[in-house]
Amino acid sequence: MLRKNSMGNIKIKPMLPIVWILVHAALGVAIAQSSAIATLWGFAILVIGSYIIFKNKNRNEEAILWSAYIAVSDVPLRASGGALLWEIGKAGIVMFLLLGIISERNRTRKIPQEAILMFLLLIPGAIITFTWSDNAREALTFNLSGMVCLLVSMIYFYHRQISYSTLKRMFSFSLLPVITLSMVLFYRTPDINTIEFTSSANFAMSGGFGPNQVATILGYGWMIILLMICMKEKVTFSKYITYALLIFILYRSLFTFSRGGNLAAILAFAAFMGTYMLSGHKRVKISNSMITLAVFGFLSLLVVNSLNTVTDGVFGNRFTGRDTEGELKEDITSGRENILEMEYDLFLQNPIGVGVGGSQHFRLTQFNDNHASHNEFGRLLSEHGIFGIGVILILLLSPLTFSIKIRNSENKAYCLMFLVLSVASMMHSGCRTALPEYLYGLSFIYIIPEKT
């Protein structure tokens, strides 16, 4: 990671080399035009990642890096029509992490009891599905893929020791597809004058794909770049390029009109900085971080003002809970609160659950509502009943208890950040993307000191 220049001073390599930034930017333009190129990209990720992990026997935590890469590539692949299978991100994470575990010949691994218990609690709901569904296999595959991915991620990362340099490499791998997604949106953006902006999530500015899912990825991207700047890491070869990249991704993220993806990133960043600064850790000087945040705040205001101007104030209405005309909405959750109430009613009617995939099915038959669940916890409650409550409690308390017990403040801050971003994303977008499930596993890691 380090090399000395002719003067003998240590020169730090940037996290994102300019060559890889340009390659992934060009890739974004290419897949926006051709689903065939996107399909080839997805196939290459699976083949090359598997080969490298197996060849190196995961000695350098290659499974972590490639899992992070495909977790973020999931959305640009699906948005461009290049996914070999719809759940390519989740399938790729499971494949890479399991291959990493199998390849590690000198490492013994025990499956955590919490993961076993969560798996067992999901079985009754799966069985109930067969009592009403004519296509139970498809319902199980589609609705349980997220939890399976989460459990595999938890098993792989549970109390795993990884170095800080590996964590930085993971961030580097995961940021590259964020650049690709940003360029897909940039290329596909129609003429602003042809768009009728409303106070709803904007599919036109999301490349025609789900705004919540797009914003989940972009929110993660700008948050990690901002965090690395605060941690005094060299993201690119130039701080001006770094800030330009940060603002470009933030701009694209806010332009989706998705509040959840950006709010989740804000909460996760606040969790990290709050934990880290209050601990008095010497690595980060509060004054320098405050200057960085002040610069970011100023640039963010410029972005918000620009978006509000080009949308004739509709952007501001959207993010302040108002309708297109500026009137305050009675329900600022875009219908999520209503769905959650119906899922709670289903739980009261069926304490043992309505079965996997039953939330949307029975909301349609009983309440004439055909919207997919946006909240993974509401879905667990309605579909798995009292067993789902057990899953939720383990899912929340296990990583929270782990992070509280960690003495190293930097380690604690990262684990809480991963947990908050994962849970917040699942609350507004369920397990529709692979990234939250991957991040959940990272909330169980031990970050070990670098060897000197």
User: pLDDT (tens digit, 9 = 90+) per residue, 421-450?
Assistant: 999 999 988 888 999 999 999 999 999 977
> What does pTM read for this prediction?
0.91
Residue 163 gets which letter from DSSP?
E
Confidence of residue 338 (pLDDT cuts 50, 70, 90): confident
**Taking 60 as the threshold, does the pLDDT of residue 451 lie above it?**
no
Between CA 447 and CA 413 the distance in angstroms is 11
Buried b (16+ CB within 10 A) or exposed e, 129-140: beeebeebeebb
Between CA 165 and CA 1 the distance in angstroms is 8
User: pLDDT (tens digit, 9 = 90+) per residue, 347-392?
Assistant: 999 999 888 988 887 888 888 777 777 788 999 999 999 999 999 9
Between CA 377 and CA 393 the distance in angstroms is 10
Between CA 234 and CA 238 the distance in angstroms is 8
Length of the chain: 452
Strands 161-163 and 10-12 come out as unpaired
User: pLDDT (tens digit, 9 = 90+) per residue, 47-90?
Assistant: 999 999 999 999 999 999 999 999 999 999 999 887 787 889 99
User: pLDDT (tens digit, 9 = 90+) per residue, 198-253?
Assistant: 777 777 888 778 888 999 999 999 999 999 999 889 999 999 999 999 999 999 99
Closest CA to 380 of 332, 406, 344, 407: 344
**Taking 90 as the threshold, does the pLDDT of residue 284 lie above it?**
no
Q: What is the mean pLDDT of the chain?
A: 88
CB 16 within 8 A of CB 236: yes
Q: Up-side HSE of residue 196: CA atoms within 13 Å toward CB?
A: 2
Q: How far from the centroid of its chain's Cα atoms is residue 439's Cα? A: 7
In angstroms, what CA-CA distances link 149 with 93, 156, 416?
A: 7, 11, 20
User: pLDDT (tens digit, 9 = 90+) per residue, 150-173?
Assistant: 999 999 999 999 999 999 999 999
